Chains A and B, each alone.
Chain A
Amino acid sequence: MKHLTRAMLVVSALALAACSQSERFDNDVALGGTAGADGAVVPGSANDPTSPLYFQSAVGDRVLFAVDQSTLSDEARATLNAQAQWLMTNSDYTAVIEGHADEQGTREYNLALGARRANAAREYLITQGVAASRLKTVTYGKERPIEICSTESCYAKNRRAVTVLAAGAIS
């Protein structure tokens, strides 16, 4: 349910961002960016709604998948809706969506599975209005886990598609 909370935060943060600065930014998801002494937004920090740090922490840069699946959950769709909003507002950025698998699979199959996951996220962002030319995908299979234990608590976080921003046109 943590992700649902995050999705709600995203919505409120986006609403706030539209009128003033995001002073009630949630510390739990902040990645180290801080507000200035007078509460002003520090450009590039996690409370600057146009920053990649904000995208990572407040919007949510990743969606998770069930075992051996690449279908998007409701939670994943909510995160991707917010990603699409952000990408359309911040049109200078392009993105590479990385697809990953947990370690419970053979190397080649997991590469193909990671590609499916990255593509599912990309297709969804496109249906939400993001230009296809701004989105690339790459699969890492099981090569780049973020959690290293060999239990479902770690596997669940490793089965992911992560939207990684880059400034400027896609190469």
Chain B
Amino acid sequence: MTKLLIRLLSILAAAATLAAAPLLAQDGPLRIEITEGVIEPLPFAVPDFVPENGASAEMAAQITRVVSDDLTGTGLFREIPQNAHIARVTSFSSPVQYADWKAINAQALITGAVGVTGDRVNVKFRLYDVFSGQEMGDGLQFSGTTAGWRRMAHKVADAVYSRITGEGPYFDSRVVYVSETGPKNDRRKRLAIMDYDGANVQYLTDSSSIVLAPRFSPTGDRVLYTSYETGFPKIYVLDVASVGRRTLNTPEGTMSFAPRFHPDGQTVVYSLTQGGNTDIFSLDINSGQSTRLTQAPSIETAPSFSPDGSQIVFESDRSGTQQLYIMPVGGGEPTRISFGQGRYGTPVWSPRGDLIAFTKQSKGRFHIGVMRTDGSEERLLTASFLDEGPTWAPNGRVIMFTRETQGEQGSASLYSVDISGRNLKRVRTEGAASDPSWSPLQD
């Protein structure tokens, strides 16, 4: 393990435990300052990737910007501006002038080359630990269509992020969400999909009926959502590539919502309301057969599977207020896991299996939080007038959610925050947006 990797791992460990005490400072320019939980981002340099021919110059510069934006967007990295660079990288294969990068305190250096041929683009990169004076891992290359050039940049940034942090990648992913227009008492909603960073927006439905809470399938090929197309809330499944949709077979005369896929991609768990009572059911997509999982006069909703598919976390007000419970995948006696002050809802199991994210209401404020799957180590990450509906990045380190502002002009936006509560920021969307669902990493 290189020194750089060890340093970044300690940053992450500190972030994860919200350590307020400073880490042991290292000698020289590699010092990482941590003061009251504020972490000094790691400085890196990324000179514009070298164009392999005249046709590649513009795309090479664009790809370099996206790589940098991905890394700096995590809050763990800080780019040293190109105008501060001493060395100029004009060839991907030239030896690295470590002294020049040390002189500007770049701890990591990313170099790359971009070749465009027709509608294909090929991107190569290398990562260097400047102060150890060696390359980190082997150079890699990715190729794809020029139309999908941003994905090539995300793949480069993912590889850099993973090598330096030891965490799983997440930049090459998408988000499906509800795009909102119109005033509060006449909100128009439609489904939209975009890259995780807000680029490449595409609308999947029109706004003629209310649509709510889309959820990706485990491979990202389909989306479950709730629509009022018939005048009543019903669950639909939409094929992302063809944008074709169909309603799921839920019993006549009932309302259904809050669907989520099992990790097998064939079973859906959802809430069904009949005679004013809401319980949780599972549905086999192929046979259309529904099975009741809870049977109580209380509200049971917002189910979410553990990543191994063996358990379901959900919310219920059987105790008198909304709280979180876990039950076996086939139903059965649930175990309550939330015991703090306030109401807990919208639990979502981390793709890593270690944490459950939730919405908490307490003293008139809303929070996004995480807890261990046994309910211990509860940590609130945000606070506002209205935060709700967390969704996990594919690596289980970052959470996206809906934040709605207060009052007559109130509107919804997407925000993200990492699981230590750091790096809270608004996600760029065209107009108001709510109910994000983060896709798995793309192939």
Contact = CB atoms under 8 A, between A and B. Distances in A.
Contacts of B299: 109, 112-113, 116
Contact of A146 (B185, B301, B435): B185
B359 A112 contact: no
Contacts of B212: 107, 143
A36 to B, nearest CB: 34
A108 B255 contact: no
Contacts of A137: 276
A59 B165 CA distance: 66
B278 interface: yes
A5 interface: no
A88 B215 CA distance: 44
B271 interface: yes
A106 interface: yes
Given A119-B275, A148-B408, A108 B257 contact: yes
Nearest to A148: B184
A168 interface: no
A124 to B, nearest CB: 11
A41 to B, nearest CB: 32
Given A106-B346, A107-B389, A143 B302 contact: no
Interface string A124-152: 00000000000001111001111111100
Nearest to B402: A107
Interface in B203-217: 210, 212-213
B276 A109 contact: no
B116 interface: no
A108 B260 CA distance: 13
B182 to A, nearest CB: 11
A148 B271 contact: no
A70 B404 CA distance: 25
A123 B275 CA distance: 9
Contact of B359 (A106, A115, A118, A146): A106
A108 B271 contact: yes
B294 to A, nearest CB: 12
B312 to A, nearest CB: 14
A105 interface: yes
B273 interface: yes
B389 A119 contact: no
Nearest to A139: B255
A120 interface: yes
Contacts of B315: 106, 108-109
A111 B257 contact: yes
B360 to A, nearest CB: 10
Contacts, number: 100
Contact of A111 (B301, B359, B410): B301
Contacts of B184: 145, 148
B28 interface: no
Contacts of B301: 108-109, 111-112
23 contacts: A103-B404, A104-B364, A105-B345, A106-B359, A107-B212, A107-B346, A108-B301, A108-B302, A109-B315, A109-B322, A111-B278, A112-B273, A116-B277, A116-B278, A119-B275, A120-B276, A137-B276, A138-B232, A138-B255, A140-B210, A143-B210, A148-B183, A150-B407
Contacts of A111: 233, 255, 257-258, 271, 273, 278, 301
A104 B361 contact: yes
A144 B410 contact: no
Interface of B: 183-185, 187, 210, 212-213, 231-233, 255, 257-258, 271, 273, 275-278, 299, 301-302, 315, 317, 322, 345-346, 359, 361, 364, 385-386, 388-389, 404, 406-408, 410, 435
A107 B388 contact: yes
Given A108-B345, A112-B278, 9 more contacts: A96-B231, A106-B346, A106-B389, A108-B258, A115-B277, A137-B276, A138-B233, A143-B187, A150-B408
B361 A105 contact: yes
Given A112-B273, A118-B276, A139-B273, A144 B255 contact: no
A150 B406 contact: yes
A115 B232 CA distance: 11
Contacts of A146: 185
Contact of A149 (B187, B275, B407, B435): B407
Nearest to A122: B276
A134 B137 CA distance: 70
Contacts of B361: 104-106
Nearest to A150: B406
A22 B129 CA distance: 88
Contacts of A120: 276
A145 B410 CA distance: 12
Nearest to A146: B185
Contacts of A112: 271, 273, 278, 299, 301
